[in-house]
Amino acid sequence: MGRSFLIVSIAALLAAESGAAQVEYRNLDGGRPVRVEDATPTERHALDLDLTTFRVDWLSLGRERLLIEPRMAYGILPNTEFSIRVPVFYRERGQSPRSGISGFGIGGMRELRLESRRLPALAVAVETFLPVGPNAARPAYSAKALATRSFPVGRLHLNASYGNFTVRLRPSVVVSPVCGQPGLPACPDPPLEPPLDGPCNLSLSGNSPPALFTCSGREFTTNTSAAVVRGRVIRRAQWLVGLAGDKALPLRSTVVVADVFVEHFEGLRRLYDWTAEVGLRRQVSPRLVLDATVGRHYYGTALSTFVKFGTSFSRPILVGRQ
């Protein structure tokens, strides 16, 4: 019994020392653990697999939503990474569809300069999101600028992104016109509610959402036998600015990070949305990193509290010479 305990203790100590020698835990990816990330891409020939990342949101009226987002990133060139993510959503009763794959995000990051004594590290990132489903809307695009600066007490990270999102208006039913015709008043624009965080989290204003985002697999229908007109697709701009600070605990292979960011969905008659998060990343082995986050969307529309948890598995994949 004592011998077995000694062997297990030595093995655990060696594993902890190996984990402490790694620096993967300091690489902050978007959403791992917080929305704001650092300006460091995946190392060349390194493969990062984030297969168990999930997020749970608690909204008003007892609504709960789950988002699972597997992601893969590969250091395809020096200071350059290529990434793919696949958001999978699960929503409360009354939503249609209630669960499914919202689409595929294909992106990349390029580090423009390393940090120096006077200037921060700088990087740029781009992504194309391709919605899926029988009634999928158009692709969405985004571009991001990232900066990271180190100080004796920790690091600061600044992110700014600009892109668009696509929404399909709720189908209308062909009945006797009551507006929009000669001699009748103009039809008011339907109110729109943007996603909370990503294309598959809808914010409800009634029994059914008036708009369809890219995660919806089909249009909403009505209980009438009248003809239904396919909802038209519109595209709007969206921007985000965020600031984060982190503190590394090298002897524990852990980094603690907090951020705050503001985002705005243009053209949707909506306030600016402010969110704050606190999270940590801990390296438990040379290849495995765990992260956890708690956050609050505390100002704007459809306020919510959420938690996130994920694991990252990293390994080198060297390309042999031809």
Determine the pLDDT at residue 128: 93
Determine the pLDDT at residue 200: 36
CATH number where 285 lies: 2.40.160.40
Residue 322 lies in a domain: no
Give the long-range contacts of residues 25-30, CB within 8 A, separation 24 or more.
Answer: 25/248, 25/253, 25/254, 25/255, 25/281, 25/282, 25/283, 25/289, 26/246, 26/248, 26/255, 26/281, 28/157, 28/244, 28/246, 28/255, 28/257, 28/281, 29/71, 29/73, 29/312
Residue 145 lies in a domain: yes
Distance CA 226, CA 174 (A): 6
Residues of the chain where predicted confidence (pLDDT) is lower than 50: 1-2, 5-21, 173-175, 190-229, 321-322
Determine the pLDDT at residue 178: 58
Q: Which of 208-226 are b and which e, b meaning 16 or more Cβ less than 10 Å from the residue's Cβ?
A: ebbbbbbbbbebbeeeeee
Determine the pLDDT at residue 189: 54
Query: Global pTM?
Result: 0.77
Residue 48 lies in a domain: yes
Residue 35 lies in a domain: yes
Q: The tokens 């969110």 sit on which residue?
A: 275
Determine the pLDDT at residue 133: 67
Residue 321 lies in a domain: no
- How many helices (H) and strands (E) in the chain? 1, 19
Q: The tokens 């995946």 sit on which residue?
A: 42
Task: Report helix, strand or coil for 72.
Answer: strand
Domain of 264, in residue numbers: 2-316
**Total number of domains in the chain:** 1
